Chains A and B, each alone.
Chain A
């Protein structure tokens, strides 16, 4: 197995990704192989039980495999949390061919679980793809990997070659009638391609721009106009365990509504940031941020100011929401989303206006430009916030920001309850004048921060506090 550095010499500007994984105590359904140095090789994978789930699946009828997955209530791990077994059932009768597309275009700021799943255990993902294909009777799978993930691409390619050579992929898998081809496809660096219809457009060779809904699911009309199941990397990575140990065992972990474990990427001002495999539903935000088994609290014993519970698109949470369980349903009701499982923690030193700007900048930059409110609105929001940060804000700008946001996402925007003010939570998701949720995502930091910390915005507008004329991108400034 060639080392990555031989393919990407240091001089080329490539660096191997950081390890990022923290082996906390707890059930290990998808990260069991991660601690091994050579976890990504076929030898290690086979020595630690890889493709056992596939063999179990091949012993069942496809319909039985599908039923097992439905029984396990495997929720999609891409963000929307839709049950995979139900989604699989959406393909219209009698329309062939159909495709499985694996969404490995993980780009949500703060999220890097899929990258580790691809870098540390590519065979688990390949096995998951094969099980899904078997259950659905598919013979062609496309694995779309984000363009920037060089190491993941390399290891997946090597693993796929090994798996083909070993007879796990290709014709007559494990000496059965079951045949599947898996095609790798590298993205070209666009956040929006994480949206499943944009990913399909990109896969077809078009600009990565979301398709109009309806149809709401590509299962009806997807890749090349054919029924297409799009699943997230982590979703599929759960399948080998489920098929090996059964749905009942799977439901022994986590809560009833959200069985199993999830990978959470926790970053920001915590003592021990990283990827944790966490039992869903029975663990709270307080557990993962402050628990000894997890992040071990805020750096320097600082106070928590805010945290983003589910990636940059999610409205912010605060102290009051710390005891919510990591349960999609509860988080939505509280005004945000668990999304892709990226928790970003901000301590009391954070300049929320700059933090807000930084997130908005991301969305303005990643807007695909297809629909007007997102294309024009996100960059307008950014320009207003830049002005405020620079000390050139006007008092009317705060209402303007909210109104621009309202023109992208009309109506009350999802927001967490504020105990002091007695304000109620507005549940997720937001409404949209846009085609896809990217534009409305840019409104999340603005409404979250403005509602809670309006005085900090006003302080900048009246030049009472924190004015810096930016000469470098905000994110690169050292914390105060």
Chain B
């Protein structure tokens, strides 16, 4: 039974991988842009899930780390002349530092208080970006414009195909890293701190170190996502990283499924496409409803959570379990 379950998981993973790899060769530029956005969101959600899903630290402020990654990448490219592929890792290291340092005060906050502290971070960041002391670097309210990179080595790929594959490579590598992390000793320690902090410490887990490092790694993921976003969009401005982004991350995390890495793909698909669907649905309610995409989005979100309270990953697991039971009882 377990073997069949494992085999079906491998089949699903392979199908997703094959689809993701073939996608750029039949999709239009517009769909590739959306695909890249989904991958970027999925990377940020992976990072948030390490922190919130596995380690139990709630963050409402991951938009801030996303912003640091995005602006860091844009500044390194425009002001320091770095190539884009070098700017992203450097900017995400900065994010790791920022996240690690933020992890220290976070140690003193639990649960909702940490949520509030990170919320403040999300509110403050767009304003910090237009602060006059920094505007020589950040471009103030006007933001920074980046030119679109083309495929290197004369590869016969369009800019959209190349950027999609570039994001896919990052997403795959970071997914692999995250799944290795949570399966091993570190992952067990993170989960132990989440579920039984006192027991974990008596077992010799250095909780402060694990928690701050986890914050740093989570911020690093958000930073990579932010950097990729800056390059794919070709523009950063404070409006790109507002509070709605941080909240969208939380929505994606819960919809995808806490402590499920694969679920983050669903979470990313949700926050990328459901606002569009909401916008489309308002059209069918007539002109006067054109002001209400937010309301439609809210209703859709409630419906999804009512149908799948444990997120899409939880629902899939439950459905697979039910199918298995039905299959074995009928036999």
- A, B bound: no
| Chain B residues at the A interface, C-beta cutoff of 8 Å | none
